[in-house]
Structure 1
Amino acid sequence: MGKQVIFITGGNDGIGLATAIKFADEGCDVAIMGRRAEQNEVARKKVEASGAKCLTITGDVTVEADVKAAIEQTVDIFGRLDFAFNNAGVEEVPTSATEQNDAEYQKIMDVNVKGVWLCMKYQIPKMLESGGGAIVNTSSVAGLIGMAQVPVYVAAKHAVMGLTKSVALEYARQGIRVNAVCPAAVHTDLYERFTGGNKEMEDMLENMHPMGRSGRPEEVASGVYYLCKEATWTTGQGLAMDGGFTVP
């Protein structure tokens, strides 16, 4: 049996890249799909430093042909697909529900929801061919609770949880587990874009977590690894990784 293989969207930075490196360190080969070819190449070198093979594919998760081709290429190159981390996503600039525009709504829903759906649509048949697998989708604490000023993002991340639960039940007896990670603020490029270098906003984000800090990409990567490799009796769940943020 060859090495196990993971397919990751949004895998060229942040949580996705940390997850790619984690799985490479644990002996898996990795396929990364991202929109930026140059950043994909930087990520490939970092992953291959762990001794794994890394395939990078430039594509857009909102384009069905791109997703289909990326997953087919992964299986053509590596011969199998064991795990998937559907992680590509976009944030929402804080906006009132009555002021958000249609174009922004559509972008957020397309990337965060349609992208996850399209990936699972083409990942699952490939996993079934080799007897099963595990999928982890990136939701958010915003997929578990409500938040003001980011209504479309909250709706999208709740939708990811709905997809996760529904598909988990559909394939529970066919050897495929489907779960989600639900991070609070994690210090990534997206975090930097959101705060814009504003120290007051950064301090606010850090202190809203009971543990007094934001998360690190490597911490979420460990959760993805756990759900894929170790949580063999767990499906349809959202793993809150949030420094206590959602504790009632």
Structure 2
Amino acid sequence: MSNQTILITGGNAGIGLATAKLFASNGYNVAIIGRRAEQNESAAVAIKEIGASCLPLTGDVTDETFIRDAVARTKSEFGGLHHVFNNAGVEQVPSPLPDQTIDDYRKIIDVNVMGVWLVMRETIPTIIESGGGCVVNTSSVAGLIGMVQIPLYIAAKHAVIGLTKAVALEYAQQGVRINAVCPGAVQTDLYDRFTGKNAEMEQAIEAMHPMGRSGTPEEVASAVLYLCRDATWTTGQSIVMDGGFTAQ
């Protein structure tokens, strides 16, 4: 698969970095997008140590000019683009509805929804030019159910599933499959910010998952690889990995 390339937003940490490393170990070229240059460079070093080529790109997924340039640079560097993992996102700190602000709304919806839409808009034509491939969008169990005090995050992750279905239908006959992953609680920096590293809160969240634990970034990465490499008749779907959380 050394002639295949994946672009990963939020690729310098957590689920994104675990996915970048997994694809690298399977012979893919990797381009990563992140907002912090130093963290991008560190991630690129770790990816290159696996033996893969890596292009770090520093910028914001809500910046139209940057995303367009990132796609062009990826295509120039690797000769094409075959897969995209739309993983960049921000969390909502739980708070009562009256305390939530317009700035909260704009930040959460812009990054988690507009960012996904914009990256798909700018990458899919290049994926088609490259012979087809797959886009995987990160939603969440929060895209399937409701939860109190985080309505903006819930709305954003529901929207990601809607975008996934609509765009999948548009490109179903053009060689591009679009799917989403819906993780439960996963041990990442975002999870730590959400819980404030409060041990009691973490234990309560883990107890909500029938398997009795949170997930790992590597477990989500394996689903992304499956969707891109093996699930050749799967599009418009939301793949849930949540330790049984939504089975209750």
Q: Please give the range of the TM-score, normalised by the shorter of the 2 chains.
A: over 0.9
Structure 2 Cα separation of the partners of residues 206 and 3 of structure 1: 40
Q: Which amino acid aligns with 2:28?
A: C
1:232 correspondence with 2:247? no
2:2–2:28: 8 Å Cα contact kept in structure 1?
no
- What SS does the aligned partner of 1:98 have? helix
For 1:24, the equivalent position in structure 2 comes to 24
For 1:218, the equivalent position in structure 2 comes to 218
> Which deviates the most, 200-209 or 33-42?
200-209
Deviation for aligned residue 1:58:
0.3
TM-superposition CA deviations, 1:39-63 (whole Å, max 9, x none): 0011001111110000000010011
Structure 2 Cα separation of the partners of residues 2 and 45 of structure 1: 18
TM-superposition CA deviations, 1:218-245 (whole Å, max 9, x none): 0000000011111111000111110001
Structure 1 Cα separation of the partners of residues 218 and 125 of structure 2: 29
Structure 1 Cα separation of the partners of residues 103 and 2 of structure 2: 44
Structure 1 Cα separation of the partners of residues 246 and 2 of structure 2: 40
For 1:56, the equivalent position in structure 2 comes to 56
Change (3 A) 1:27 1:2: closer
- What SS does the aligned partner of 2:97 have? coil
For 1:173, the equivalent position in structure 2 comes to 173
TM-superposition CA deviations, 1:120-161 (whole Å, max 9, x none): 001111011122110000000001111111100000000000
Q: Which amino acid aligns with 1:187?
A: Q
For 2:247, the equivalent position in structure 1 comes to 247
Deviation for aligned residue 1:108:
0.0
2:172–2:235: 8 Å Cα contact kept in structure 1?
yes
Q: How does 1:57-206 map to 2 (within 5 A)?
A: 57-206=57-206
Note the residue ranges of structure 2 that are not aligned, 5 or more in a row.
Answer: none
Q: Which amino acid aligns with 1:59?
A: G
Q: Which amino acid aligns with 2:86?
A: N
Deviation for aligned residue 1:99:
2.5
Q: Report the TM-score when normalising by structure 2.
A: 0.98
Percent identity between matched residues is 64
Size of the aligned set, in residue pairs, is: 248
Deviation for aligned residue 1:215:
0.3
- What SS does the aligned partner of 1:233 have? coil
Deviation for aligned residue 1:197:
2.0
Q: Report the TM-score when normalising by structure 1.
A: 0.98
Q: Which amino acid aligns with 1:246?
A: T
Structure 1 Cα separation of the partners of residues 98 and 62 of structure 2: 26
Deviation for aligned residue 1:205:
1.3
Deviation for aligned residue 1:2:
5.3
- What SS does the aligned partner of 2:247 have? coil
- What SS does the aligned partner of 2:233 have? coil
- What SS does the aligned partner of 2:148 have? coil
Q: Which amino acid aligns with 1:238?
A: S
Structure 1 Cα separation of the partners of residues 201 and 75 of structure 2: 43
Structure 1 Cα separation of the partners of residues 198 and 144 of structure 2: 27
Structure 2 Cα separation of the partners of residues 197 and 125 of structure 1: 41
Note the residue ranges of structure 1 that are not aligned, 5 or more in a row.
Answer: none
Deviation for aligned residue 1:193:
1.3
